[in-house]
Amino acid sequence: LIKAEEFEQFLHKTFIGQKRFSLEGAEVVVPALHSLVNAAGAAGGAGIEEIVIGTAHRGRITLLNQILNMPVEEIFTLFEDIHKPGQYGGSGDVKYHLGYSTDHGHEDGSSVHVTLVSNPSHLESVDGVVEGKTRAVQSQRRWGSFMRATKRVLPVILHGDAAFSGQGVVAEVFNLSQLRGYHTGGTIHVIINNQIGFTTSSRDSRSTFFPTDVAKMTSVPVFHVNGDDPEAVVYAMDLALRFRQKMSQDVIVDIICYRRHGHNEGDEPSFTNPRMYKL
């Protein structure tokens, strides 16, 4: 948690005014995912060998460094403007679209292969990509049976609260989740619930109280947890993993938090959330 906060603050001081969709206010997502990856491996007892992650922009750069061990030198070069075709990183694409793949090592010497799927600005469009990639890996490796393969490859999707309730592809993916042709053994959904979508308050962006209510169509469990209580968040993640492995169904961890710098680092958050930032 401290590493994540220090990393974000260093970026904020060093690359002033650059958009990075900071995780500040929701830094607890890093220890949450770290605990999940550790618990998923052989040492943790879940027996998962590969994790496929999809996430929106917020916090992607910190996750690349803290969860996928992307070298900081490589991350810092992404803040330099490189638009020359053919040059490494020169496509003109932005840093918060990037994917990455690595082996996340544990203290006992074992490891879990973790892949972060590339994602364009269309946020939840990555959901189906994560499920499709996971299903493909499960189908290729089988490990004796397809159901056994589902226990060894875990899809994890991080969402924003407004996108989760507002983008129809989320409901479509939930509808596919238990069908024979698309089943992946359950997905762990983590919602970075900073209580605002771009500049719109939750009461003006959805007709339900919780952003997770759209998932009730499949009767999956939802754990709402305080983002200022790291131990509770880690406990909820552990519970989610155990449920997924046992029941082969989706499960949601809704982390209720806030965002420190507004939608991006060029915004003034008190314009859009005046009461919250006054508090």
pLDDT digits over 82-123, tens only?
Answer: 555 555 554 555 566 778 899 988 777 788 999 999 887 778
The residue that leads in pLDDT, 78 or 250, is 250
Cβ atoms of 27 and 8 within 8 Å: the answer is yes
The residue that leads in pLDDT, 60 or 229, is 229
The dihedral formed by the CA atoms of 147, 151, 153 and 157, expressed in degrees to the nearest 10: 110
| The model's pTM | 0.87
Cβ atoms of 59 and 22 within 8 Å: the answer is yes
The contacts of residue 123 (CB under 8 Å, 6+ apart) are 56, 57, 160, 163, 167
Check residue 96 and give its pLDDT. 62
Alpha helices in the chain (DSSP H): 2-14, 29-40, 60-66, 72-77, 126-141, 146-150, 161-166, 168-176, 230-247, 269-272, 274-278
Q: Which of 22-26, 91-95, 186-190 has the highest mean pLDDT?
A: 186-190
What distance in Å separates the CA atoms of residue 20 and residue 142, rounded to the nearest whole number?
A: 39
What distance in Å separates the CA atoms of residue 49 and residue 193, rounded to the nearest whole number?
A: 29
